Structure formats: structure tokens, C-alpha cells
Amino acid sequence: MQCERFLNWFAHIGVESFDLHVRRYPNKVRKRESWITDHEGINGKRVIELWKWMRYENSHEADIYIRPHSPEDHPVIFLDDLSVESAHQVARAYSSAVIQTSDDNTQVWVKTASPLSLTQRKQVQSELSRLGHADTGSTSGDHLGRLCGLFSHKRKTWVNAIYFSTPHAYKPSLQETILLPHKGWGACALKSSTDKKSPSEADFGWAIGMYKSGASYEEVRSAICENAKSRGKRNPENYATLTAKKAGAILNI
């Protein structure tokens, strides 16, 4: 069951309390939406117990959302409206849960190295938005994400959990609050709709981001090699070795 795998990923990173919200549309009129917010601060077991009720609501054109319990500090940030390609790049670099909400649109939950307050989460999301790596409307710090295994009535498609990863956690700098290096370091692994950088530049920025999150040389080299192979690059092993060494040299690693 997708929902159980999703909750297990959260449990693995230490998140065990959730807010479950349901958005109804009386008489199928979206402008007359109403919210059910009775299920807040509940554990994963309770979420599963509510599954039949959620399926009933969903079958009657309600949309179902979830988030870690908002008032609490927790080690995860939310990224909205990433392409599938960008979401997989993030998940290869940082422990993440990728939820596909349409053909080429995802929501990504990213593990952080330590719990963040609501204010800190908002700060991180705002910076990511400013850099073009997340939806500008998803910077509240307690944004709701769609629950996988159910139907999105907004986009008329099923919401699916497509990728769970457990590499290094993202270590935010709360003074700068960046997920990956500034453009002066090279390139950013996350791509926005206006990003014109080459795949090689993106790999270089991704390598620096992994190093800054504590990854070893071999982990960086292996990740870049897999990415290069996926796009059919020649001599991916040599390319990955050179890229990993160059990024390490920049950071004196």
C-alpha cells in the first residue's frame, strides 16, 4: 500500500505525528470548497485506520492532504511543483519521498539533518523559491502535500509515490538557507523552467551539494556515474571521476 510506504519513510526519519486535511467541494462546485481539519497530531497508525473514510471522501470528489504535525519541529522540508527529472535528482542527493501529482509534476519531501521550526522551514522554502527551485506559493513552512494512493480531482489523475531514497540528509545553512550551491560555485542540480545550464554543469553543482551534505568521494562519483549513464553519456565512469574530483578540489576535499 502506497500510503503505508509513505508513512514508513517518515517514521524512518523520525516523523511520527501528522495533520490530515480533507478538502470537499459541495455539489461539485470548487468555489464552494470546505475543509475538514479534525485529524491533527495523529500517528501513522491512525492515518491507516482512517483510510476507508478517506477513500469514501475521495470517491465523492474530495481531495486528501497530509503533512507532519505543523506546530512541532521536524526534520523535513516540502518542495512543490518539481518536474520528475528534477525530483529524481534531489532524491539521489538527499533522503527524499517523491510523490507524482501529474504527468510531469511532483511534490518532494526532503529530510534535513536536524529538526527545523516552522519559521526555519519557511525560511528554507522561501530561499528555494527565490532561487527558482520550488513553487512560490508553497513557502508557508507548513504546506500540505497530497496523500499518495488517492485521486487528484484538480488534475484528474492518481497521486502516486514513485521514489523513496535514503542518502544523506540535507544540511541547511540557516544564515543562507540554500539547498545547493550558489551559482558562483558552478551549477545547481535542481532545474527550473528557465534553467539553461548543461547537464554537465548541473552534475557539477549536484556534486558540490552532495559534498556539502557529507557525502564521500565514492558516493558522489557513483551518483554522478548513474546519472550520466541514464542520459547515455559516453565514458560515464571517467566523466564521473573527473567531475567528482573537480568538485572536491573546489571545496578542498
Highest mean pLDDT among 52-56, 142-146, 210-214, 215-219: 52-56
Q: What's the pLDDT score for residue 133?
A: 56
Class of the 2-179 domain? Answer: alpha beta
Looking at per-residue confidence, does 230 or 60 come out higher? Answer: 60
Q: For the range 227-233, what are the long-range contacts, defined as Cβ-Cβ under 8 Å and sequence gap of 24 or more?
A: 227/89, 227/92, 227/203, 228/203, 231/199, 233/199
Beta bridge partners of residue 64, listed in sequence order: 22
Q: What percent of the chain has pLDDT over 70?
A: 81
Q: What is the mean pLDDT of residues 227-248?
A: 82
Q: pLDDT of 100-115, one tens digit each?
A: 999 889 999 999 888 9
Residues constituting the chain: 253
Q: Residues 115-129, buried b or exposed e (16+ Cβ, 10 A)?
A: ebeeebbbbbbbbbb
- Count of H-run helices and E-run strands, the chain: 8, 10
Sequence spans of domains, the chain: 2-179, 180-253
pLDDT tens per residue, range 134-174: 666 666 788 899 999 999 988 899 999 999 988 788 777 66
- Give the pLDDT confidence of 20-38 residue by residue, as tens digits: 999 998 766 666 789 999 9
